[in-house]
Every structure is written in structure tokens, then in C-alpha cells.
Structure 1
Amino acid sequence: MKNIVIITLFIFTLFSCKEKKTDSIKNTLNDNVEVKLAHKTYAEISIAQGGDWVDGSRGHKEYSAGTSFKNVDELQVPSEHTDHTWFLRYEGPGWENNQIGYRLYLDWRNAIDIFGKKVDSLVLPYVGQDGFDSYHEPSPWGQDILKAGKSMGIGSFGRIVADTVVHFQSVKNTFAKIDNTDNNSSVNIRYQGWESGNESIDLNTKLTIYPQDRYTKSELTPSKEIAGICTGIVKFKEIPLIKKEEKKWAYIATYGKQTLASPPDNLGMALFYNLEDVAEQKTGVDDHLVIFKPTIKPITYYFLGAWEQEQNGIKTQEAFIQDLNTKLEALDNTNILK
């Protein structure tokens, strides 16, 4: 595995010293493993080992009797794979920095979820090692905090057809690639033969996280011009939409008690988009939507989550909006967040 050294027999602590800080966290449910990550960002995709594809109880194939997981840099997604096949650790690729983590369901749902973090360490190598959905429960590092439901979650992508978001129910081939560098980490996914309505396209996507801040940069490149390519934020009842536009860029956002934590606590979510790229912003059935104009040029936007339980996290809606406005001003002046 790139940039990862496995060291056994370690103490259950998170630690730092004045001269040098090491990003590390114990896998509390799988003893005697410590992972030290050389970079300040990290992305991975992890597949089950030691099992076989068998007929499952949900009417589709499942990966049965896998005993361990293996990280890979590239993955041709098996044709048998769909939701809840137990093949991918936490159901798809993940990416993080010391403030926040994200994951994408690499199946027909194609939603992006948020891992809220209570620590300032990189934690993804430990998530989901002990059980398929253990990360939904509170743990020392944090937990999965977003209920995506039928939506795109936060910042994922689909296509709006007849007022319905088409996810990735029909794709001929899906290929994922992980990149970890000194400057950032990214998840690259190539969807070939994605069918929506009566259209079929290829779609290349790149999701990049940086050492600083909470945002992910998303780049979508369609193989041909079609109407309706979209992104969005999951819609929750009684959580109002916040909107602001400048000359070039705009954002939509939500803030409030919209997490899976018990009881629910405050989470802010936001999408930043270039007004020149956008045909319409509207509210759909499950999402607050941003719909892009037809193009074959790369579409760039940013999304983020901000959980109040982060170390030194944003605690109020006022502080959240102030942070968004600062980023919006930077985008309007530079056209990029760095």
C-alpha cells in the first residue's frame, strides 16, 4: 500500500510532541495495528479477500466469507457488485484530511457520505475493519454522520430526467483509481456507458481533498453534451436552504441538526459552483439541486461538511456562514480554492 507503514504492538493513544507530530490512531476493534501515514491527506479503496461471489438473500450476488480487506490503487469494479454485497470496505472509496472524511458508494446509489471526525488524525485505514457498518456507531475517532437516503448525499453527481435524479443504475463499466501525493489525495472514477433516460455517455470524475480546510474539489468531464448533469445536497425536512451569489460564483448550503448522531447535532453542508456552468438551481424530491449546462469541458465545483464535534470545529450557523462567505469571496477573486 502506498505511503503506509504497518507497525505492530502499539499503545492505545493519540499522541503528539513539540518537535514532531505523527498522524496515528489505534484501530480500537482490531488490536496490535498502528498505521502511520506520511501525507496530510489520504484516499483509499479496500476490497474483501478470501471469499467468493454467491447468491445472496437480497436477490443479487454477495461476496461471502471474506476474512480480510486489501487496499488497492486501482479497481475494475466487478460486474457482480451492487449495494450491500460486502465486497468493498465501507462500500466504496474514501478520502480525508485531519478535519473531515468522505466516502462514495461505488454502486448504483453513487451518493457521497460524510465521516465526522473527533480527532485530528487520519483514520480511514481503521474504518469498517471490524464489521460492515460499525462506523455508523459513535467511536473515539468519530462516525458516519450523514443519512443520504435516496439522495446524492453531499456533492455527488447524477442526471435530472423528468424531475427525477437518475443515479448509476445502468453502467457498462466502472473503474476507480486512487492517488496520494505530498499535496493532495484524489479518487478518480471512470464510468463507461452510463445510461440515463435515452442517453448514454462516459463520465470521468475526480474528487480531490487538500491538507487544509474541509472542502473537496469535484471535476466532472462528460464525453458528450447532454442536459441535466447535476449535483446536490441531501434535503432534510425543516432545514432551510441558504443561498448566496457573487459575480462569478455562488453557494447553496444547509445548517442544523441533520446528523445520524444520537441525539442529532449540528452539521453544515455547502456546494460552491461557477454561475457560468449552471443552467438552474432548484429543489428536487430528495436534493437541493445544482443543474449544469450541457458541455464536454470539465465542470468544477466544491463541496464541504462542517460538524460541530470536530476539534476546533464550527459551532454556530453564524460562524458557518461567515466561513462560506470568505470562501465565496476567494473563489470570485481567484476562481479556485487552494
Structure 2
Amino acid sequence: MMKIQQITLVLFLSLASMKSNEVFSQTAQSKIYAEVSVKEGGKWEGRKYIGGTFKNVQRLKLATEHTDHSFDIRYEGPGWESNKIGYRLYLDWRNAIDIFGKKTEKIVLPQVGQDGFDSYHEMSDWGADILKAGKGIGIGSIDRYLNKERLHFYEVDSTIATVANTPKNSVVKVQYYGWKTASDKIDFTSELTIQPNQRYTQHTIHPSKAIEGICTGIVKQKNTELLQKESQNKKWAYIATYGTQSLVPDQLGMAIFYQTNSVENIVDAEFDHLLLFKPTTKVVDFYFLGAWEQEPNGIKSKEAFVKYLEERLKTLEKNNKM
């Protein structure tokens, strides 16, 4: 009887080990990932979070004390990545999207910002933060533009961020309740989806009220030029920039693909190239991407970048999706 129990135990441990190794293998081989990591065990002192350790969560309701550089969220907001590139959203009044350039196809976000609040600004084996958003919109994020001014997310009743990972895609969803700008107060949903082997993020937005000035865009950098093109059927188009515009500095391309019937105007603003959406309460989809020359088999010239954009535009024209 004892021998049978021992054999059963050995088989159980062996199966458990195989399952554990399988899970580890799946994680190691993953090509997409999204996360949000918040501190616990510390305390708020004014608008700064002191002490504590980071813990990944599936859902985060933003603390009322939170603002930029509050130190309570690892790398300041949710992050998502493919085996090509990574992104992060400043989950505060700035609401800008930044780029993590990757020198590896492995998943890197779980280690980013663990060894110091902004250590990711220094180049490491995996890569670094390569985009200076400054006073700009970053790449592909949302703001409101009225009277030649971006109005930001200064007044929001509550903000909830969730993350989800499946074999097909990784998703960051942010729900803004009571976003007040000018004389309008609306709810707004932003969903960011990334797929394996792709640089682009699909950004799905949904405002609760049709208001003017909802926008996205690309931050302006020196040493770049604005590239624009429509598809042959005139249903899709892109704006893009390319040049020595990374923090390294080296070559970086950025682009936004949009449905032409969803955009009211293209604005050359002070800090950004902006796309102003038509007022609507319908769901709107667009795509944004970065392409860094140091990524494995990266795009290293303007000519190669334009060719890549042309391929993506033809795919959209044919399939109405990337």
C-alpha cells in the first residue's frame, strides 16, 4: 500500500513539474504582454507615495492623490508590448503614450522600473525609453484641442485601468469617468490592443458625448519631416515622422493610420502633429506605431520605413483592418 502511495506521489509531482515547466515555457515564449503595477504597503504623503513594493494587478482605480511622478505606479502607468516594441501610458493629467525601444524579442516589461523609478531612461541590454514626449502628446494617445490649446486630463472624477492577456492579443483598457474640459463633462473609454509580431497598437476610443476637439497625434521632434498619404480608395490614410528623433539619439519612425471619414482636420500644433476627430458618440478605431532602428531586424532608413507604411496601408485598404 505504501509503495502504491509513493508511486502515486511521484507521478503527481512529475505531472505538476511538467505543468509548471509548460507554463514557464509558454511565458518565456510569449510575444505579447500587458501589465499595470502599483505599490502597496507604503503611504501617501501629499501627492507622493512613500515606501511600499510593486504588485501587478488586473484592475486599478487611480488614487485621488495620484499625479505625475507620484511614484505609486511602476513606470507611471500601464504598459504593453509585442516581441517588436513596447509602449506605456502616463496614467495622469498628461495622458501621453511613450515608447520602449527593444533590442530583444523577449518580454521585458516585468523588469522595467524595478531597479529605480526611472532607470529605464538609461540604455540596458533589453533597450530603453526612447521617446521624449515633453509637452507633447507622445504617440497615438488622446487629448482635446480647442482654441489652439491641448486641454489634457486635469479634471476627471475617476479613472479605472484594466489589463488582459490572451494568446492572440494583450489589451489595456482605461475608463475615464467625468472628464471635464471647457464646458463639457463626458465619460471616455480607451482600449489599446497589441498582437504578436506587430509594431502597431490598435486604439479603440468611445466618447459618451459628441464634442469637438477630441484628438490624437505625434509629438514633434527636431530633425524629422511629416509624411502623409491616403489609400487609393481614400478610406484610410496615415501621418508619420521619421528621422533622428529618439533619445539615443538614432533613427525612429512613428505613424498613425486613421479612417479618413473619422477625422475632421489635421493640425500643425505647437508641440504636435494632431488629428482632430469629428464629434461622435460612435466607436472609432485607429492604429499607431513606432519603428526603432535598434530593434532586431529593425527598420534603419526612411526608404525602408516608407515601404513598411505602404504595406500596412495596402493591408488596411484590402481588409479594413491591419
Structure 2 length as normaliser, TM-score? 0.90
Q: Using the aligned pairs only, state the percent identity.
A: 55
Alignment counterpart, residue 191 of structure 1, candidates 176, 192, 204 = 176
Q: Structure 1 residues 93, 37: CA separation in 2 closer, same or farther (over 3 Å shift)?
A: farther
Q: Which position in structure 1 is the counterpart of 2:120? A: 135
SS in structure 2 at match of 1:236: coil
The 5-angstrom pairing of residues 1-338 of structure 1 reads 36-37=27-28, 39-55=30-46, 61-66=47-52, 68-246=53-231, 247-261=234-248, 264-337=249-322
Q: 1:39, CA displacement in angstroms?
A: 3.5
Counterpart CA distance in 2 for 1:270 and 1:94 is 19
Instruction: Tell me how far 1:163 sits from its aligned partner.
Output: 1.1
For residues 184-217 of structure 1, what are the alpha-carbon distances to aligned partners after superposition, in whole Å with 9 as ceiling and x for unaligned?
0010000011011111110011000000210000
Rounded to whole Å, the distance in 1 between the matches of 2:142 and 2:48 is 26
- Give the structure with the higher percent helix: 2
| SS of equivalent residue, structure 1 residue 323 | helix
CA-atom RMSD in angstroms: 1.4
Change (3 A) 1:252 1:40: same
Alpha-carbon distance, 1:165 to partner: 1.3
Long gaps (5+) in structure 1: 1-20, 24-35, 56-60
How much has 1:240 moved relative to structure 2? Answer: 1.3
Note the alpha carbon deviations across 1:37-74, whole angstroms, 9 max, x for none.
5642100000012210013xxxxx110012x2100000
Q: Which has the larger radius of gyration?
A: 2
Kept in 1, the 8 Å contact 2:203–2:287? The answer is yes
Shift of residue 236, structure 1, vs aligned partner: 1.3
Aligned to 2:14: none
For structure 2, which runs of at least 5 residues remain unmatched after alignment? 1-23
State the SS of the aligned residue for 2:307.
helix
Matched residue of 2:246: which SS?
coil
Counterpart of 1:239 in structure 2: which amino acid? Answer: T
- Offset at 1:22? 5.2
CA distance in 1, matches of 2:151, 2:28: 37
SS in 1 for 2:68: coil
Amino acid at match of 1:228: G
Q: Tell me by how many angstroms 1:333 deviates.
A: 1.6
**Structure 2 Cα separation of the partners of residues 87 and 244 of structure 1:** 41
Q: Give the aligned residue type for 1:164.
A: E
Whether the aligned pair in 1 keeps the contact of 2:223 and 2:243 (CA below 8 Å) is: no
In 1, Cα distance between equivalents of 2:29 and 2:55: 19
**2:221 & 2:122 partners in 1: Cα distance?**
21
Q: C-alpha separation between the residues in 1 aligned to 2:135 and 2:111?
A: 27
* Cα contact 1:281–1:290 (8 A) shared by 2: yes
What TM-score, normalized by structure 1, do the two folds share? 0.86
Tell me the matched-pair count.
298
